[in-house]
Copies of this chain bind each other. A is one copy, B any other.
Amino acid sequence: MNKYPILAVFLIVLSACQGPADEVAPPPNILLFLVDDMGWQDTSVPFWTERTAFNDRYRTPNMERLAAQGMKFTQAYATPVCSPTRISLMTGMNAARHRVTNWTLHKDRLQPMETNHASLQFPHWNVNGLSPDSTIEHAVYATSYPQLLQEAGYYTVHAGKAHFGAIGTPGESPLNLGFEINIGGHAAGAPKSYYGKENFGNTEAFKDSPWPVPGLEKYHGEDIFLTEALKEEALAALALPLAKEQPFFLYMSLYTVHTPITADPRFFESYLEAGLDTIEARYASMVEGMDKCLGDLMDFLEEKKVDDNTIILFMSDNGGLSALARGGQPHTHNKPLSSGKGSVHEGGIREPMLVKWPGVTPAQSQNDNYLIIEDFYPTILEMAGIDDYQIPQTLDGESFVSLLQEPSTGEQTRPLFWHYPNEWGPSGPGIGAFSAVRKGDWKLIYYHVDESFELFNLKEDIGEQNNLVSSEVEKLKELAEVLTNHLQAVEAQMPSHKSTGLAVAWPNEKSINSKEE
């Protein structure tokens, strides 16, 4: 066990576990539970200052259980779209630096909506995603933290959605990124079907399609939802490290609640009977199926008596989908937050985050500090006691381990950045090519297409309804400077205007203008 560097914090765990004081504590198991496209309000756990109608709609008793045992983060951020988040998670880099700024699938191919944009010429971003070697063009070369965990002796299991690299590149397989086991992960970011009876999309009609979920053949034809099948396989995969008393890292990366929004038959009917819109009843049933998976994993850890030495991190990869494919009016599904997936408004980036670290996180605690997805990289390594590593990339993320013992602190001054020189497709509030910064209570958004700004005070205006560019000119200038400095420092790619061929101006070149003008 001498290859595991041990942190001081383990001593706390150790005493909590009542082990002999002179024995070296085992590194903790780590479960990262990442939900796809889950919004900040898609849970019965309230993440706002007030309980909302959504908190009453959704049933997530196991998230409540986890929140009761650990710490709730009310201001955890990801990026608005899946791949940038997942690459930030795996590399510790901000999206502006890693350049995987939009979602990936086909090698060397831009999204069709990007090649056809009316007025912007987009940069050739890293369409091939993450690569563990330096020879792949248009990919970010980096070492993932699962790779470092594996090298430090962890048994690393990947279950569910990967979506790290384009088809035909090494990054498409979790096995090339530090995972010992891969259950159902590949280049695509959504399943063709959630139903075992439909072979999770592996039918004749889609035989050449990139979307059907790979593996899981034993469940084909069975009456089982994808989430359940992934969980069963994940639990089976843990038998080996448990038997060997080897620490494990389980990356439980659900395909739910991403489209296709599909009724989970175990839960659907009750939501329909409650009078929900049919699509919303389907969505709620997927949320509850996700929660059951979390609960089953927690039960398993307790049964195996490893819950006291297993850290659980719960997170989502972007805001809840709201611009399309949902029931009811678009852009309303994350209220009080504005907009949803694809948007840099809070609805697209603020996530339901929970952390339980036995002996470290106080039970039923709440933490209002903001943090961002690239922070998970150094945090998880610190949790595992790994502090001496050589990696090719520059880290932007900062460990939030110190936040886990203290529910709250004073005002934060660290800036967080988002950068999306891309096109997602649908339109709506906060959707479109942009760069943005949050610092303290303030958020500045810079839209590339017309070089305009939105400035919000999030403490007073969580719904981002009042654009203060005209009245808060000094704050606008200050944040435009901070944002510009970051973008230039990381050599961020910017789109150019098709009409002039000129690159979009840096925010600080435009910061005396406002969106209203």
Interface residues of A (CB under 8 A from B): 205, 207-209, 211, 272, 277-280, 326-329
Q: A205-B209, A277-B277, A278-B326 are in contact. List 10 more A-B contacts (CB 8 A).
A: A205-B211, A207-B208, A208-B208, A272-B329, A277-B278, A278-B278, A278-B280, A278-B327, A278-B328, A279-B279
Number of copies: 2
Smallest Cβ distance from A105 to chain B, in angstroms? Answer: 11
Smallest Cβ distance from A231 to chain B, in angstroms? Answer: 26
Could you list 14 A-B pairs, sorted by A, with CB under 8 Å? A205-B209, A205-B211, A207-B208, A272-B328, A277-B277, A277-B278, A277-B327, A278-B278, A278-B279, A278-B280, A278-B326, A278-B327, A278-B328, A279-B279
Smallest Cβ distance from A423 to chain B, in angstroms? Answer: 15
Q: Report the separation of the CA atoms of residues A327 and B207 in the bound assembly, to the nearest whole angstrom.
A: 30
A279 CB contacts on chain B under 8 angstroms: 278-279, 327
Nearest B residue (CB) for A273? B329
A208 CB contacts on chain B under 8 angstroms: 207-208
Nearest B residue (CB) for A324? B263
A328 CB contacts on chain B under 8 angstroms: 272, 278
Q: Report the separation of the CA atoms of residues A207 and B205 in the bound assembly, to the nearest whole angstrom.
A: 10
Nearest B residue (CB) for A106? B204
Nearest B residue (CB) for A327? B278
Residue among A207, A277, A279, A326 with most chain B CB within 10 A: A277
Q: Report the separation of the CA atoms of residues A35 and B21 in the bound assembly, to the nearest whole angstrom.
A: 79
9 smallest CB-CB distances across A and B, nearest first, come from: A278-B327, A278-B279, A277-B277, A277-B278, A205-B209, A278-B328, A208-B208, A279-B279, A278-B278
Smallest Cβ distance from A340 to chain B, in angstroms? Answer: 15
Nearest B residue (CB) for A278? B327
Q: Report the separation of the CA atoms of residues A277 and B207 in the bound assembly, to the nearest whole angstrom.
A: 34
Q: Report the separation of the CA atoms of residues A329 and B328 in the bound assembly, to the nearest whole angstrom.
A: 18
Q: Report the separation of the CA atoms of residues A8 and B162 in the bound assembly, to the nearest whole angstrom.
A: 73
A209 CB contacts on chain B under 8 angstroms: 205
Q: Report the separation of the CA atoms of residues A204 and B223 in the bound assembly, to the nearest whole angstrom.
A: 30
Q: Report the separation of the CA atoms of residues A208 and B280 in the bound assembly, to the nearest whole angstrom.
A: 33
Smallest Cβ distance from A212 to chain B, in angstroms? Answer: 11
Nearest B residue (CB) for A325? B278
Smallest Cβ distance from A366 to chain B, in angstroms? Answer: 34
Residue among A207, A278, A280, A327 with most chain B CB within 10 A: A278
Smallest Cβ distance from A111 to chain B, in angstroms? Answer: 13
